[in-house]
Chain A
Amino acid sequence: MTSAQLYYLLNLLIYAGIDIIACLGLSQQFGVAGVTNFGFIIFQAAGAYTAAILSLPNDSANGGFQSYLAGWNLPFPVPWIGAAIVGGLVALPFTFVVGRRLRGDFAAVGLLVTAVMFNLLVTNYRPFLNGAAGLSLVPAPLQGEYDPSGAGYQWAYAAIALVLAAGAYLLVRRVTESPYGRSLRAMRDNDLVADSLGKNLLAQRTSVLVLGGALAGLSGGILVGYITTWAPGAWGYAETIVLFAAVIIGGAGSHRGAVLGAILVPVGFEEATRYIPSTFGPPGFVDDLQWVAIGLLVVIFLWFRPQGVLPERRRIIGATAVPSNTPNEDVVSLAGPLHASRGAATAGSALPAADPAPRATASPAAADGGAVLRTVDLARDFGGVHAVAGVSIEVHRGTLTGLIGPNGAGKSTLLGMLAGTIPVTSGQVIYQGRDVTGLPAYRRARLGLVRTFQLASEFKRLTVMENLLSAVPSHRGDSLAGALRGRRCWRRDEEAAIARARVLLERFGLSSYADTYGGDLSGGQRRLTEIMRVLMTEPAMLLLDEPMAGVHPRLARQIGAQLLDLCAEGMTILMVEHELAIMDEFCDPVIMMAEGTVLATGTMTDLRARAEVVEAYLVG
């Protein structure tokens, strides 16, 4: 091998290391957490600029031909550490765009705009980072001690870049494979449902932005130390698309996919086109075709293989479960075994194991006249429509309270306001004697007030077992810190959760589906999964939105019987349901709504005897 070939090879290795780190960061955001960060390149740019101005001498050096901040001449590895830190910090303001309840594609456009805006600002404001010309003569790491052009130095640089890439790989794997990573994937699949199960979406999105930003910043630092120059032209918004192409082609959400994508697209593809003679076509022709090819690759892969070359792998947890072929029809009662498992699961906590509904401590509810949940003049307007207009209800401990009414009566809106998924226009929600009107959905879920959804809401790319595990409250592995501390920190919690999930799966006859993706289930199985999942949150009160819709009548009756068993154990349930036969059999009392108000409350027999109720249903 000639020395020119050797240098070229080392150059490729260094670029591979840099691009792998960046792609891992992006894959963590886009593939795992579902945050489509079209501004990703800014983080790399921030890291590169930071490393540059930390290692450059004061800007009066070199004849003062460039102007920039800092210029502190700091020794290696401080600039790289600074690059990672600044890359992470720059991510914080972005939270305002993605943390909001903004459509994913709107947020992505917002981030794209931000990327373009930052580039314009840096280009036009010269004193900050030397404007359009950018920074040059950036000192290579330790260039005083070693000769950066020597083969030994190049070898070392490549080795360090690859070691850092390996470190980045282990870091993102540790996060993704933890319960926290599972929560991130749950958020990706359905953020509204994740919120209702107690996930703090803002905190989760912030953490992936910061983690991905720090990795991107580090990649920028390594890059600028190698090429010793950095200018706005190097981080146009289109560079982000190259990284997206890499992640999509490699396999979004798969770490090995991110590595493969980094090697295939930014390194392999761009290098391959280097061998096309530049005399081919007019000036810039090859570069143009290269961009066209990147665009084509993205579109073609999204069409033919959206999961990428190395798809996200399925996490098999439940395969070793108790073999059970219990068909759905044979579901009997939840009371016995479920009760036992709840006791076991909560034994480790401070709460008494015998308490069937752990967080429903008796005293506050008693103080509120026995009502677990109470509303005062609750109202919600959509534009000019009063969907819910001044509703005051009470739901008492241990009851399976029904909520009926014609379409458009405001049932689902009311349920959404109780759970915190729909903001309240006016009025109050009092839960266990506490005003929770201002609490977001995830905080209410953590207090034990949890809802299900009218439409199927399974996490599609989580297995049934993972769907269940994702709902476990106060899991030690379900935080960034817990995830970083590793499996040892959370293994015990995980095992307990898996044991509980297996009991539930057994009871509901879905053990053999434990490793099936949520998206591959039948309609009835999805409803069952949703009910099991909400039970995993150890709720004190359930808000069920048509849990039996689309379920075989026989199975619906069995679900009803199980809900009654849960109530007998002390749980409180408020259930929206259209099927009056179900109401007749299971619900007492029943609240009847029409046109946004409560028409009547009582047993179904009472309600049937009242003319206005019958009329509302017939007319509505």
Chain B
Amino acid sequence: MSLFLASFGFGLVTAAVLAIAAVGFTMQFAVTDVLNLAFGAVMIASAFVAYALNQAGVNVWIGLLAAAAAGAAGSVLLNQGIYTPFQRRGSAPITMVIVSLGMTLIIEFGLQAIVGGTNVSYTMSQGPTVRAGGLVLTAVQFVIIGLAIVVMAAVHGLLRYTKLGKAMRATSANRSLARNCGIRTGRIVTVTWAITGALCGIAGTVFAINNGSFGATSADLFLVVILAAVFLGGPGSAYGAMLGAVIIGLATEISAAYITPSYKDVIAFAILLIMMVLRPGGLLGAAVS
């Protein structure tokens, strides 16, 4: 199998993990206007919930569901307990970002104080090697890609065809107008945190599965890759985040194969910075003047 196809396959897997996370992050931002930098911390905390169950003998894919629930609960709690009170006070977006960084430290290192500083792995089988369309990946990697496709389809269905999705888009476009139109924006925001929190939990677990081993601070770097995908697609745009995830996933893995793996994340960051300077609205967003 050629180097290109191999790296393309890995790129798809990375893109799949990234897409789930990036869509969650960008929807959080769209509806609540918080750049929640604690997203990575919640991801890993959820992955550890799955790990605890896994250690108790539960299958990791059932653990994934528990992680989704934990991510949803944690995110709703984070919003209700911290972000909403600050926003009610009229805190500036930049204050919210600093608060979310503070929360990152609290969650990550609080977790590390509990689970310790060494990396852990799930007990699971990678499954047989599967060949499909010239790609050679493990069954688990195919499951991750499949899972991402299902999640993306579900998000698309939610945003396009449900009343809830419509209300979320309305809240995102103009919260006070949406409220005046009879949309219970407080509830929409909470539901959004629950949904995106579930995505965050799923993303954390598949990230941990895909990484092989993980620790409390493993998502630090990945958070920046998520930001790259989000900003590439246009902050707040779910479809943009999907596109950004595919581009960043492929770009990092293919460059890792052809240049050197040490710099694969640097590629993602460079793309992010170039986008911020040239087109801060992202590929699918309006060019912000």
Decide yes or no whether B140 CB sits under 8 A from chain A.
no
Binds A, one of B126-134, B156-164, B265-273: B265-273
Q: In whole Å, how far is B28's beta carbon from the nearest beta carbon of chain A?
A: 14
Chain B, residues 242-284, CB within 8 Å of chain A (1/0): the string is 0000000000000000001011011001101100110010000
Give the residues in chain B near A422, CB-CB below 8 Å: 289
A298 touches B102 (CB 8 A): yes
Decide yes or no whether A124 CB sits under 8 A from chain B.
yes
Given A282-B116, A284-B116, A97 and B273 contact (CB-CB distance below 8 Å): yes
The residue from A113, A303, A423 contacting B227, defined by CB atoms under 8 A apart: A113
Q: In whole Å, how far is B234's beta carbon from the nearest beta carbon of chain A?
A: 12
A284 touches B117 (CB 8 A): yes
Number of interface residues of A (CB under 8 A): 52
Number of interface residues of B (CB under 8 A): 49
A291 touches B269 (CB 8 A): no
A104 touches B101 (CB 8 A): no
Chain A binding surface SS class: helix
Name the residue of chain A whose CB is nearest to the CB of B262. A124
Task: Please measure, in the bound complex, the distance between the C-alpha atom of A106 and the C-alpha atom of B269, giving whole angstroms.
Answer: 14
Decide yes or no whether A238 CB sits under 8 A from chain B.
yes
B109 touches A110 (CB 8 A): no
Task: Please measure, in the bound complex, the distance between the C-alpha atom of A112 and the C-alpha atom of B117, giving whole angstroms.
Answer: 24
B94 touches A113 (CB 8 A): no
Given A100-B277, A292-B106, A299-B103, A114 and B262 contact (CB-CB distance below 8 Å): no
B82 touches A124 (CB 8 A): no
Chain B binding surface SS class: helix
How many residue-residue contacts, CB under 8 A, span A and B? Answer: 143
Name the residue of chain A whose CB is nearest to the CB of B269. A117
B35 touches A105 (CB 8 A): yes
CB-contacts of B53-104 with A (<8 A): 82, 85-86, 91-99, 101-104
Task: Please measure, in the bound complex, the distance between the C-alpha atom of A295 and the C-alpha atom of B112, giving whole angstroms.
Answer: 14
A289 touches B113 (CB 8 A): yes
Q: In whole Å, how far is B71's beta carbon from the nearest beta carbon of chain A?
A: 20
The residue from A108, A112, A238 contacting B94, defined by CB atoms under 8 A apart: A108
A285 touches B113 (CB 8 A): yes
Give the residues in chain B near A102, CB-CB below 8 Å: 276, 280, 288
Give the residues in chain A near B105, CB-CB below 8 Å: 238, 241, 291-292, 294-295, 298
Give the residues in chain A near B265, CB-CB below 8 Å: 117, 120
Chain A, residues 294-325, CB within 8 Å of chain B (1/0): the string is 11111100110010000000000000000000
Task: Please measure, in the bound complex, the distance between the C-alpha atom of A421 and the C-alpha atom of B288, giving whole angstroms.
Answer: 13
B112 touches A299 (CB 8 A): no
Given A97-B273, A120-B265, A282-B116, A289 and B102 contact (CB-CB distance below 8 Å): no
Chain A to chain B contacts (Cβ below 8 Å), 14 pairs: A97-B276, A102-B280, A104-B94, A105-B93, A110-B272, A112-B224, A114-B269, A241-B105, A244-B101, A282-B116, A290-B109, A295-B104, A295-B109, A306-B95
- B-contacting residues of A (Cβ < 8 Å)? 36, 38, 96-97, 100-110, 112-114, 116-117, 120-121, 124-125, 237-238, 241, 244-245, 248, 281-285, 288-292, 294-299, 302-303, 306, 383, 422-423
Extra contacts, 7 of them, besides A109-B35, A292-B110 (Cβ < 8 A), are A100-B280, A116-B221, A289-B113, A299-B102, A299-B103, A302-B98, A422-B289
